[in-house]
A = this chain, B = another copy of it.
Amino acid sequence: MMQATSAKVTKLNRVERNAWTKQKIFDAATKVVGKYGYAEASVARITEAAGVAQGTFYNHFENRQELLDQLLPKIGLDMVRFIRARTGTADAARQEIERFSAFFDFIREVPEFLRILNEAEFFAPVGYQKHFDNISSAYVRILQRSRSAGATTAFTDEEFEAIVQVLMGARGYLSRRYSYSEHGVTAVPDYVVTAYQKLVTHGLFNTDDKDNNDER
Contact = CB atoms under 8 A, between A and B. Distances in A.
B196 A162 contact: yes
Interface stretch (A3-11, A60-68, A74-82, A171-179): A171-179
A153 interface: yes
Interface stretch (A21-29, A83-91, A103-111, A198-206): A198-206
Interface residues of A, number: 41
A203 B207 CA distance: 11
Nearest to A191: B158
A121 to B, nearest CB: 7
22 contacts: A118-B122, A121-B176, A122-B122, A153-B198, A154-B198, A155-B195, A158-B191, A158-B195, A162-B178, A162-B191, A162-B192, A165-B178, A166-B195, A169-B169, A169-B170, A169-B172, A170-B170, A172-B172, A199-B199, A200-B203, A201-B203, A203-B204
A156 B189 CA distance: 13
A44 to B, nearest CB: 11
A141 to B, nearest CB: 17
B163 A173 contact: no
B173 A168 contact: yes
A147 to B, nearest CB: 12
A192 to B, nearest CB: 5
